[in-house]
């Protein structure tokens, strides 16, 4: 097996034939992105709808199951070809991890193992489908924690084998970027009126992807075709939110980000003049890179000076001054959030200008990933988009954080385009010595030459095991397909 196996061979096996299933040719039904779809409650109604939506194979409605286990959420969902969410289920171990101050890989793996069968069964049950009804099983194979990814991949393999359908390997950040394209259908499931009736973005669009491990500005030129305009030089913004929550001693059972956001509501965002990252640095001020390490340090210093790390005393306040302590915490949270959001928005503004150099008609910006559920960020991006004459597309908050729908939808897009679709596993479990490929470190695309990291050509030991990017692989797949077509 080659080191850089192409996507269609990602899940490999011991010697022997694989059951193959014909993948469909590229076609995108206009109805897929219609913003008028509504929730269909009866499964027959859903099936009929999905079948109507399929222009390429009207007699074969397609349903894709998506499985996500890259971090601390065990999630599964079934979507139809028209983007309807037929069933979904999610179990988070964030409260368990919170007791240990962050994600502990072995604990997370155990939590996924305990949850995976139930979560997948629940999603299928809600969709009233069985594995043989599925047209594909999509699963996140990276980036993420290997131990965790493996749980999802093994389950996906089992279901795909049972269903006799292909396994579709998915890049976690691609899934965050693309979930907005299923938005028209997905938003009908959301109770946030501000996120309904949004347009589904068409390629090309700009995506700001903000999660616990990634902070990217990406020009999404097509399925599997990504140009990274900016990335983080140190931490991701979600990581910074989690750290600030710990410094302030907040309840982490729902995650650090939501805790800081809630506390910030009662704080004075101007109380602390934390410097905006990279704003005044000579060469980095004008690019799209991010940095949150300095902001984290500023917050730490402010906490040490006032309430003490963990917010439980030991700083400048007397123990017992509870109201004052709460006010200081809220002010720090609000000031941190103001600066973090300003940094994200400034970089996004530059990215829009860069993107318009090659795509002058760029009309949409998508924000996704866990931090995209933050209301202050959404509000400020809305103002930025208005200023730049762009449409801002925010998935409903629950589709910003990790979920099964984004994986199922990405699988559906790949199935429809016939790009990066794997084979049907011959056995439900890997055989002795069989290698299951996971991609804990997996770039989404190439860095724009103006990125600091690209200029520095970082070659640390850490980067040695990085796979070729999804975008490079997509290009290889397309070239191979073209060559095959020319031969026949």
The residues of the shown chain that bind ligand KG4, judged by CB under 6 A, are 71, 211-213, 238-239, 241-242, 255-258, 261, 369-371, 373-374, 401-402
Distance in Å, CB of 210 to ligand KG4, minimum = 7
Which listed option, ligand KG4, Zn ion, none, makes contact with residue 255 (CB within 5 to 8 Å by class)? ligand KG4
Question: 133 with 416: CB under 8 angstroms?
Answer: no
Under DSSP, the state recorded for 456 is H
Distance in Å, CB of 482 to Zn ion, minimum = 33
Q: In whole angstroms, what is the distance from residue 149 CA to residue 144 CA?
A: 7
Under DSSP, the state recorded for 16 is S
Q: Which is nearer to ligand KG4, 166 or 370 (CB)?
A: 370
Q: Which is nearer to ligand KG4, 425 or 443 (CB)?
A: 443
What lies within 8 Å, CB to CB, of 297 at 6+ separation is: none
Tokens of 470: 């999804």
Tokens of 157: 């393999």
Question: 327 with 257: CB under 8 angstroms?
Answer: no
Q: Which is nearer to ligand KG4, 163 or 169 (CB)?
A: 169
HSE value, Cβ hemisphere, 13 Å, CA-based, for 223: 21
Which listed option, ligand KG4, Zn ion, none, makes contact with residue 241 (CB within 5 to 8 Å by class)? ligand KG4
Which listed option, ligand KG4, Zn ion, none, makes contact with residue 258 (CB within 5 to 8 Å by class)? ligand KG4
Q: Which is nearer to Zn ion, 145 or 263 (CB)?
A: 145
Distance in Å, CB of 236 to ligand KG4, minimum = 7
Q: Which chain residues interact with Zn ion by CB under 5 A?
A: 211, 402
Q: Which is nearer to Zn ion, 161 or 172 (CB)?
A: 172
Distance in Å, CB of 402 to Zn ion, minimum = 4
Question: 62 with 23: CB under 8 angstroms?
Answer: no
Quickly count: other Cβ atoms within 10 Å of residue 387's Cβ: 10
Distance in Å, CB of 109 to ligand KG4, minimum = 16
Distance in Å, CB of 101 to ligand KG4, minimum = 13
Which listed option, Zn ion, ligand KG4, none, makes contact with residue 13 (CB within 5 to 8 Å by class)? none
Q: Which is nearer to ligand KG4, 188 or 374 (CB)?
A: 374
Which listed option, ligand KG4, Zn ion, none, makes contact with residue 373 (CB within 5 to 8 Å by class)? ligand KG4
Q: Which is nearer to ligand KG4, 239 or 473 (CB)?
A: 239
Which listed option, ligand KG4, Zn ion, none, makes contact with residue 256 (CB within 5 to 8 Å by class)? ligand KG4
Q: In whole angstroms, what is the distance from residue 75 CA to residue 90 CA?
A: 4
Helix (H, G, I), strand (E, B) or coil at 232: strand
Question: 134 with 165: CB under 8 angstroms?
Answer: yes
Phi, psi of 76 (to 5 degrees): -150, 150
Q: In whole angstroms, what is the distance from residue 306 CA to residue 272 CA?
A: 12
């Amino acid at each position: 097996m080659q080191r850089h196996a192409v996507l269609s061979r990602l899940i490999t096996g011991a010697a022997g034939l694989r059951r193959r299933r014909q993948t469909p040719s590229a076609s995108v039904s206009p109805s897929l992105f219609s913003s008028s779809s509504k929730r269909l409650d009866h499964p027959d109604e859903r099936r009929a709808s999905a079948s109507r939506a399929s222009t390429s194979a009207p007699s074969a409605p397609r349903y894709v199951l998506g499985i996500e286990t890259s971090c601390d959420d065990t999630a599964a969902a079934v979507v139809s070809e028209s983007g309807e969410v037929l069933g979904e289920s999610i179990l988070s171990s964030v409260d368990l991890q919170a007791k240990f101050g962050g994600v502990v890989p072995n604990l997370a793996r155990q939590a996924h193992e305990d949850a995976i069968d139930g979560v997948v069964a629940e999603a299928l049950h809600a969709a009233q489908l069985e594995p043989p009804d599925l047209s594909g099983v999509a699963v996140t194979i990276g980036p993420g924690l290997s131990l965790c990814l493996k749980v999802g991949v093994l389950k996906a393999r089992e279901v795909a084998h049972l269903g006799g359908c292909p396994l579709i390997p998915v890049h976690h950040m691609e899934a965050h970027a693309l979930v907005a394209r299923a938005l028209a259908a997905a938003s009908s499931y959301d109770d946030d009126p501000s996120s309904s009736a949004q347009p589904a973005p068409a390629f090309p669009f700009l995506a700001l992807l903000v999660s616990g491990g990634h902070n990217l500005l990406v020009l999404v030129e097509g399925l599997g075709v990504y140009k990274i305009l900016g990335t983080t030089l140190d931490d991701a913004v979600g990581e910074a939110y989690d750290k600030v929550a710990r410094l302030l001693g907040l309840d982490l059972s729902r995650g650090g980000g939501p805790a800081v956001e809630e506390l910030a509501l009662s704080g004075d965002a101007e109380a602390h003049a934390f410097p905006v990252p990279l704003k005044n640095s000579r060469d980095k001020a004008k690019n799209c890179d991010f940095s949150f390490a300095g902001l984290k340090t500023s917050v730490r210093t402010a906490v040490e000076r006032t309430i003490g790390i963990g917010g439980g005393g030991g700083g400048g306040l007397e123990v017992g001054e509870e109201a004052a302590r709460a006010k200081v915490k809220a002010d720090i949270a609000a000031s941190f959030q103001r600066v973090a959001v300003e940094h994200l928005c400034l970089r996004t503004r530059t990215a829009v200008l860069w993107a318009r150099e090659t795509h002058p008609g760029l009309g949409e910006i998508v924000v996704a990933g866990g931090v995209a559920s933050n209301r202050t960020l959404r509000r400020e991006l809305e103002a930025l988009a208005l200023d730049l004459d762009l449409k801002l597309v925010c998935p409903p908050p629950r589709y910003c954080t990790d979920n099964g729908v984004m994986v199922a939808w990405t699988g559906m897009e790949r199935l429809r385009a016939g790009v990066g679709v794997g084979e049907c596993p011959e056995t439900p479990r890997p055989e002795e010595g069989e290698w299951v490929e996971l991609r804990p470190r997996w770039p989404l695309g190439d860095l724009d030459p103006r990125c600091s990291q690209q200029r520095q050509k970082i070659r640390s030991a850490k980067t040695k095991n990085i796979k070729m990017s999804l975008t490079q692989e997509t290009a290889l797949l397309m070239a191979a397909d073209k060559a095959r077509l020319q031969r026949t």
